[in-house]
């Protein structure tokens, strides 16, 4: 039986490393990876030569420059430039080197700030984006449209099949726990842990605690990515269209930031109080993606928020605690 050679771009990132772990358990898969030192994905020549030198069957494009609100506000040029270059180089080099299957990993920030909830794939380009991460979102939208455009122009002639998956808020092992540049789950894990170790009486959480957010464990996201990349094209075509081909991946329900904070407080075993600073911005009141397409195809999330955050805290203790 022929081995399935798979290149995971961004294999050291949270999602890429999870995809790598799962795919590596399959005996017929040969996994190809490259560190940043070995391959600069923003360099067109390097990317073309790397992909051209290997007989690749599938690519998971999980590489990206990512960060929280603070990082997006501070480095907007870096976020749009690096992400545009990475996806353009990898997708174009894949086409030139006859790679038939590619999955592009995006983000739910592609949707308008005031999109109807739960957010359906059709909401794309229907309104204004959240200003704090607009450059990153624009780059991710471009990645979706790159995949669609190459499919439309070259799909039938060359048999290429490039797909896109849009996850909700992700968390889990390998997350970024930086005090300034992390997302809400790792940021709160670090904050509660440090408060516990310093015997503080309280933890301050930005905002009112009322906004609702959806969270998906990274291993569920990895399994969703592998599932979507390998589902039969004819099954996917029934539920998508050539110019709205991306698919959402979410947990299916949301929690308030207050509920999330209380859950993390209990898991970390912090005994003090939670103070919500209502002078800080809340962001959109609700953000929940509609995952019906992926559910109809046969995928559902498996890891509960409590189970997932417990695992995340153990990961934090092992690597940062």
CATH number where 164 lies: 3.40.50.720
Alpha helix ranges (H) inside the chain: 14-23, 44-52, 69-74, 76-96, 134-158, 184-197, 218-230, 233-239, 257-268, 292-297, 305-319
Evaluate whether residue 298 is within a structural domain. yes
Catalytic residue among 136, 171, 177, 313: 136
Instruction: Tell me the C-alpha distance between 77 and 181, whole Å.
Output: 16
Spatial contact of 57 and 100, defined as CB atoms under 8 Å apart: yes
Length of the chain equals 321
Which residues is 171 bridged to in the sheet? 217
Evaluate whether residue 224 is within a structural domain. yes
- pLDDT for position 183: 84
Which residues is 165 bridged to in the sheet? 105, 247
Q: Which two tokens stand for residue 30?
A: 């040969």
Spatial contact of 182 and 68, defined as CB atoms under 8 Å apart: yes
**What number is the average pLDDT over the span 47-62?**
97
- pLDDT for position 215: 98
Other Cβ atoms closer than 10 A to 245: 20
- pLDDT for position 212: 95
Evaluate whether residue 91 is within a structural domain. yes
- pLDDT for position 178: 80
Q: Which two tokens stand for residue 265?
A: 């407080």
Task: Identify the band that residue 2 occupies on the pLDDT scale cut at 50, 70 and 90.
Answer: low
- pLDDT for position 320: 82
Is the predicted pLDDT of residue 284 greater than 90, yes or no? no
Residue bearing tokens 């358990």: 25
- pLDDT for position 66: 86
- Do the strands 161-167 and 247-249 form a parallel or antiparallel pair, or are they unpaired? parallel
Evaluate whether residue 238 is within a structural domain. yes
- Mean residue pLDDT of the chain comes to 95
- Residue 171 bears catalytic tag: no
Q: How far is CA 122 from CA 82, 243, 251, 267, in A?
A: 26, 10, 19, 37
Would you give the DSSP letter of residue 127?
S
Task: Identify the band that residue 62 occupies on the pLDDT scale cut at 50, 70 and 90.
Answer: very high
What is the number of helices (H) and of strands (E) in the chain? 11, 13
- pLDDT for position 142: 98
Would you give the DSSP letter of residue 7?
E
pLDDT tens digits for range 230-259: 999 999 999 999 999 999 999 999 999 999
Domain that holds residue 136: 4-176+215-253+287-302
**What number is the average pLDDT over the span 298-302?**
98
Buried b (16+ CB within 10 A) or exposed e, 137-152: bbbbbbbbbbbbebbe
Evaluate whether residue 100 is within a structural domain. yes
Evaluate whether residue 235 is within a structural domain. yes
Is the predicted pLDDT of residue 1 greater than 70, yes or no? no
pLDDT tens digits for range 144-197: 999 999 999 999 999 999 999 999 999 999 898 887 667 899 999 999 999 999
Percent of the chain with pLDDT over 90: 88
The total domain count for the chain is: 1
- To the nearest 10 degrees (0 to 180), the angle between helices 305-319 and 184-197 is 60
Evaluate whether residue 281 is within a structural domain. no
Evaluate whether residue 158 is within a structural domain. yes
Angle at 33 between CA 52 and CA 59, to 5 degrees: 60
């Amino acid at each position: 039986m022929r081995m399935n050679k798979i290149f995971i771009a961004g294999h050291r990132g949270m999602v890429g490393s999870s995809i790598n772990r799962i795919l590596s358990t399959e005996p017929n898969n040969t996994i190809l990876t490259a560190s940043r030192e070995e391959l600069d994905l923003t360099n067109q020549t390097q990317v073309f030569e790397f992909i051209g030198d290997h007989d690749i069957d599938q690519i998971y494009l999980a590489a990206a420059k990512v960060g929280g609100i603070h990082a997006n506000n501070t480095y907007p040029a870096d976020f749009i430039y690096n992400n545009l270059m990475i996806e353009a180089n990898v997708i174009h080099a894949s086409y030139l080197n006859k790679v038939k299957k590619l999955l592009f990993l995006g983000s739910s920030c592609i949707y308008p700030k005031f999109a109807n909830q739960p957010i359906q794939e059709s909401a794309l380009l229907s309104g204004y984006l959240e200003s704090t991460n607009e450059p990153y979102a624009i780059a991710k939208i471009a990645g979706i449209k790159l995949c669609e455009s190459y499919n439309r122009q070259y799909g039938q002639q060359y048999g290429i099949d490039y797909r896109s998956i849009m996850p909700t808020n992700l968390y889990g092992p390998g997350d970024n726990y930086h005090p300034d540049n992390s997302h809400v789950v790792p940021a709160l894990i670090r904050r509660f842990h440090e408060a516990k170790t310093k015997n503080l009486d309280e933890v301050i959480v930005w905002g009112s605690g009322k906004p609702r957010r959806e969270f998906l464990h990274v291993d569920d996201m990895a399994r969703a990515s592998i599932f979507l990349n390998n589902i039969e094209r004819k099954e996917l075509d029934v539920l998508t269209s050539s110019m709205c081909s991306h698919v959402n991946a979410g947990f299916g329900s949301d929690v308030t930031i207050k509920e999330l904070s209380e859950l993390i407080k209990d898991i970390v075993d912090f005994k003090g109080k939670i103070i919500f600073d209502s002078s800080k911005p809340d962001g959109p009141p609700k953000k929940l993606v509609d995952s019906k397409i992926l559910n109809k195809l046969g995928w559902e999330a498996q890891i509960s928020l409590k189970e997932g955050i417990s695992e995340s805290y153990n990961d934090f203790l092992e690597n940062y605690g």
